[in-house]
Amino acid sequence: MIHSEILHWLREENEDPLTRLWKRADDCRCAHVGDEVHLRGLIEISNHCVRTCQYCGINRTHAALQRYRMTADEILSCAHQAVKFGYGTVVMQAGEDPGIDADWLADVIRRIKAGTSLAVTLSLGERDDEELALWRAAGADRYLLRFETSNLSLYNRIHPPLSGKTCGTAAPGCANAEHPRFAILRRLRKLGYEIGSGVMIGIPGQTYEDLASDIEAFASLDLEMIGVGPYLPHPQTPLGKASSETIPPQSAIAGRQCPNTELMTYKVIALARLTCPDANIPSTTALATINKATGRELGLMRGANVVMPNLTPVQYRAMYEIYPAKACIQESAADCHGCLKGRIAGIGRSIGIGRGDSPARKRHATPASRG
């Protein structure tokens, strides 16, 4: 799909054509990845973070937030719960936390792989190549790192670089600058990881054109996993406080600001499916947060084929509030499991058996990633 066609769909507001878009995306999902919905058990292993992302509720400037880091035994016990519930994958997610020692995590990964047949996905922010290689060698299968927006000046504005660390790009504003996360994603693929990325929808300053370019980037990166959700302002963050330095005057992008709505999220899910037919695409918690009643189901009916039930112990959930009123903050792992099973059955879909690797993985298999 070319840029202008994507842009046309992002601006479409009429019900009839949108109904056709949902149908096309759903047919494409069915033809390429089938009716199974894969369950990825999410373990939020630490809410410590050294970054100052302007949108994120666990960024290091949120001083009032109580911080936690799970123990290896707590993580292992979540992994065993995943097996008990029949999940094929666990996703270990955290803020960018150097307190997660590379050798310690490699050991946790090895223990999960030795004791279960789970696929292991990591979502731990920007880590050094040696650490990423170590975790891959320990058995990690997949890595998620959203690029958040392909508009580099917007990205740089909402995602200040770590002081003392260069991001490996040309100076912001330079026409030849590359998005730092594209480079990391390519390195992850070289290491043999299945790679996942995605964006937030409706960041202040993000235009329809930007979002169309984001969707094109999903295709050019040939992602195996694509996660998208609406931007949800967090009142304890600089962007959520909406200061004039962080948000461009509306006149600068008049009429072009992309809204952070539920409808826009479905459009991006559907277009991601059509541009990357065999990717694994979750119906995300952020979507469930803005429509608790039917958001997950509608995501699954408009292109998504994955959900991520939360396995994080209940005592830590509220501390992982990257945006406010996050869904499933009080529910136990068993609650989320039961809830999602019911929702999947309710729309006539089945639960995926096994790891649920993306068919796209075969295109990228290297000797390091086989076996």
Q: Which does 268 bind (CB under 5 to 8 A by kind): ligand 5AD, ligand FES, none?
A: none
**Which residue, 294, 290, 335, is CA-closest to 312?**
335
Beta strands in the chain (DSSP E): 36-46, 89-94, 119-123, 142-144, 194-201, 225-230, 306-307, 350-351
Q: Is 155 in the site for ligand 5AD (CB under 6 A)?
A: no
Q: What distance in Å separates the CA atoms of residue 353 and residue 8, rounded to the nearest whole number?
A: 37
Q: Which does 55 bind (CB under 5 to 8 A by kind): ligand 5AD, ligand FES, none?
A: ligand 5AD
Nearer residue to ligand FES within complex by CB, 291 or 369: 291
Residue that is written with structure tokens 């790679």 in the block: 195
Q: Is 229 in the site for ligand 5AD (CB under 6 A)?
A: yes
Q: Which of 85, 155, 231, 320 binds ligand 5AD (CB under 6 A)?
A: 231
Which residue stretch of 106-114, 164-172, 183-191, 229-237 sits at the interface with ligand 5AD (rule: CB under 6 A)?
A: 229-237
Distances (CA, A) of 55 to 186, 220, 359: 25, 26, 33
Please provide residue 101's backbone torsions phi and psi, each rounded to the nearest 5 degrees: -70, 140
Nearer residue to ligand 5AD within complex by CB, 85 or 323: 323
Q: What distance in Å separates the CA atoms of residue 195 and residue 37, rounded to the nearest whole number?
A: 19
Beta carbon of residue 29, minimum distance to ligand FES (angstroms, whole number): 20
Q: What distance in Å separates the CA atoms of residue 106 and residue 283, rounded to the nearest whole number?
A: 29
Nearer residue to ligand 5AD within complex by CB, 28 or 53: 53
Q: Which of 75, 92, 154, 232 binds ligand 5AD (CB under 6 A)?
A: 232
Beta carbon of residue 160, minimum distance to ligand 5AD (angstroms, whole number): 15
Burial readout 200-235 (b: 16 or more C-beta within 10 A, e: otherwise)? bbbbbbbbbbbbbbbbbbbbebebbbbbbbbbbbbe
Please provide residue 199's backbone torsions phi and psi, each rounded to the nearest 5 degrees: -140, 165
- Contact positions toward ligand FES, by CB under 6 A? 309-310, 328, 331, 335-336, 339-340
Q: Which of 193, 273, 323, 326 binds ligand 5AD (CB under 6 A)?
A: 323
**Which residue, 243, 282, 49, is CA-closest to 158?**
243
Torsion of CA 252, 254, 256, 258, to 10 degrees: 90
Helix (H, G, I), strand (E, B) or coil at 148: strand
Nearer residue to ligand 5AD within complex by CB, 282 or 313: 282
Q: Which does 326 bind (CB under 5 to 8 A by kind): ligand FES, ligand 5AD, none?
A: none
**Number of chain residues interacting with ligand 5AD (CB under 6 A):** 12
Nearer residue to ligand FES within complex by CB, 161 or 338: 338
CA angle at 40 for the pair 240 and 115, rounded to the nearest 5°: 130
Q: Which does 286 bind (CB under 5 to 8 A by kind): ligand FES, ligand 5AD, none?
A: ligand 5AD
Q: What distance in Å separates the CA atoms of residue 141 and residue 109, rounded to the nearest whole number?
A: 10
Which residue stretch of 75-83, 156-164, 224-232, 245-253 sits at the interface with ligand 5AD (rule: CB under 6 A)?
A: 224-232
Nearer residue to ligand FES within complex by CB, 233 or 338: 338
Beta carbon of residue 310, minimum distance to ligand FES (angstroms, whole number): 6
Q: Which of 286, 333, 336, 360 binds ligand 5AD (CB under 6 A)?
A: 286
Nearer residue to ligand FES within complex by CB, 310 or 358: 310
**Which residue, 91, 157, 148, is CA-closest to 121?**
91
Q: Which residues bind ligand 5AD (CB under 6 A)?
A: 55-56, 146, 148, 200, 229, 231-232, 234, 286, 322-323
